[in-house]
Amino acid sequence: MPRVAAVAVVLGICWICWEGAVVYVQFQSRHWDQPARVYAAPMELYPGRKLTAGALTDELEALGYRKASGGKVDGPAWWRQGSTLRIHTRSFRFWDGDQPSITVQVDFDSSGIRQLREGDGRDLPVLRLDPLEIGSIFPAHGEDRLVLSPEEIPAGLVEALIAIEDRQFYSHHGIDLTSILRAAWVNLRAGRIVQGGSTLTQQLVKNYFLDSRRTFGRKVREAVMAIWLDGLYEKDDILTAYVNEVYLGQDGRRAIHGFGLGSRFYFGRPLAELESDELALLVALVRGPSYYNPWRHPERAKDRRDRVLRLLADKGFISSTQLEAGVAHPLDVKPAGFRAGYHPAFLDLVRRQLASDYREDDLTSTGLRVFTTLDSAVQRSAEHALSEGIKRLSGQSEERSDMQGAAVVTQVQTGEVLAVVGGRRTGFDGFNRALEASRPIGSLVKPAVYLAAIEQGERNFASMIEDAPLEVSLDNGTSWAPGNFSGEYHGQVTLVRALAESLNLATVRLGMEVGVEQVRSLLQRLGATSEIRAYPSLLLGAVNMTPFEVAGIYATLASGGFRAPMRAVREVVGPAGAPLGRYPIEVEQAVDSGDTHQLNRALIQVMRRGTGRSSANRLPRNLVTAGKTGTSDEFRDSWFAGYGGDNLAVVWLGNDDNSPIGLSGGRGALPVWADIMAKIGGAGFVSPATPGVVDAWVDYGTGELAAEECGDAVLLGLPEQARLPAKTCGQQRRSLTETVMDWLRHLGN
């Protein structure tokens, strides 16, 4: 028996030593997965920028700036007096260096920012605000955190943690026998577990080394490891690890760990900027993030927070004035499910574009910082316009009750992606229709058909084409007989009219003359990445593409034939601030700029007198835009792609099960597109003059040269060598009734 006891003692000592080795090795090399933090493009302020004071304060509130009444403030804040806005900025480390916190004055007039001055009155040429964090790329196990250094942990948080969770933290040796016995007595009297006796060190051991099973063996192991941890490391090291490790809540599949991330999750601001009552709520959540969830159980959470505040006052950590103010203050957490700047569809694009240069482990564990092209104001506008548009349209018909949508917004000249919306639930991290919903594009393909014809040099947009029934022989021995949307035929029409009114028969006839293979090849040059088969049905859009792919094609048209791969990432910076990767703009000429100029002149007519005409009711007056509607067979998909001088947007609407929605491109996607463009503003589209191409007024119906004052004249880009017969106003003109009736018949296509 003594020998058995001796063996047991030896084994026990060996086990204790082994646990000590585990603690030393794992904690010595402690490494938290630090997900890459992803930031939007910073808002830049400068004199002359067209920006309202309201739009700027919206951005500041999204960034977590406080609204102040004026005077001296301790942290990021803003206050307004009439047409003047004063801002105390937040310091931030950008890819090109640190930007300190300063106080600035922004003066507005009716056109935007009139003057920008520093606090001492000196003119400031430009101010870059700290960027909005739009998300993180966290690992598969779902833990997300912002790791804080000891210097970044507020003293008030340390005081609250020790006062509430472990009063003897600096005097015990990992476990507190007095607390254990007291908790056991309280629990015994209550007949259930109402109080825990674990120290902060034990809580850290449980979270860092062990699982969540409640067994006697695990509790013994927890105590042994806590003693080892306390003996091997300084108290401040243990406390820092605890602050970064503690679990504070759940956001879908993302687990919120550490006070750094908890502060942003619940309050939308850095931990260092929280008030005492806000810190108290975070400390209150340690005991049970689910039980004290401030959204589900606000009264319970407030009671616990107030208890923390009273204990802090009893210990002398806060004054009685702070106690009264804190208890009187509401919880003031962000709305449930709200994540300032969280845009999962755009984040999905960022992750895909980074995947070619970084391993998954690099993105999920090394603390990279990724600076993107996202314009948070444009993103918010696109999300609102799409969700409101779908809500309005889906309520009009049972077949649209579950209708979905997607939108992509880019900057015309650079190809930078400003916004991505993946569905009607804009904050839902799920199927990203902007990148993954590959659907027939319908008449969105038609500009490529007409551009292919222009490239061959035998036709221009004043040329005539017959819009009449035709049959196309197929390779399998059958034939294809397409029809017009209206079921009518229009005889000889100009190319500009055929494109503007989206006449199927004229387009197919033109495409067959040009060659389907030439159209397919042109689509690839414009930026198509999908597999495209050169079937005749391609000429009417029988090819599947995603909204993102469509945006790339139309971006090439909008930029005058220059293709720039759409990019969502600008810079990647390491955790220490060293630049790791830059993503410069890459541009190549895909199509002759003169040919593109001719097409863009015709696409402007789509908006003025063709299938895009109804957008004028929603867009700013006299704003020049170019674009095209698209509708797939049986009204399953509604598309619109168009652009102004600064921005391009693509909108798709449809059901996920591919059932009809009963909406053409003009009735569905177009009004949503127009709402997006109206909200984000920007200049009108201007197609620059191109050598070899001249702008001329041409009769819309006959293709003859005309004077501007002629009622049916449109401004087209024509090759210099083009020879058109002139005519006088009033000859061979279509009546106003004919024009209006044709527009109504073809509005939907």
**In angstroms, rounded to a whole number, what is the distance separating the alpha carbons of residues 305 and 325?**
13
Contact residues for 43 (Cβ-Cβ < 8 A; gap 6+)? 56, 59, 128, 129, 131, 376, 377
- Cβ(558)–Cβ(412) below 8 Å: yes
Catalytic pick among 133, 165, 416, 549: 165
DSSP string for residues in 678-697: HHH--PPP-----TTEEEEE
Q: Is 84 helix (H, G, I), strand (E, B) or coil?
A: strand
- In order of 144, 267, 270, the CA distances from 264 in angstroms are 12, 5, 6
- In order of 375, 399, 547, 661, the CA distances from 402 in angstroms are 29, 8, 19, 10
- Cβ(573)–Cβ(95) below 8 Å: yes
- Cβ(245)–Cβ(32) below 8 Å: yes
Q: Which token pair is 480? A: 């294809």
Helix axes 2-28, 200-208, angle to 10 degrees: 80
- In order of 30, 133, 243, 244, 257, the CA distances from 148 in angstroms are 14, 17, 8, 7, 11
Q: Which helix (H) or strand (E) holds 121?
A: none
Catalytic pick among 443, 463, 502, 632: 443
Q: From the CB of residue 224, how many other CB atoms can be counted at a distance below 10 Å?
A: 19
Q: Which token pair is 689? A: 């003059």
Q: Is 443 a catalytic residue?
A: yes
- Cβ(416)–Cβ(410) below 8 Å: yes
- Cβ(340)–Cβ(334) below 8 Å: yes
Q: Amino acid identity, residue 690?
A: T
Q: Amino acid identity, residue 372?
A: T
The CA R_g of the chain, rounded to the nearest whole Å, is 32
Classify residue 601 as left (phi > 0), alpha (psi -120 to 50) or beta.
Answer: alpha
**In angstroms, rounded to a whole number, what is the distance separating the alpha carbons of residues 43 and 61?**
13
Strands 36-39 and 369-372: parallel
- Cβ(242)–Cβ(275) below 8 Å: no
Q: Which token pair is 276? A: 């005492």
Instruction: Give the active site residues.
Output: 165, 443
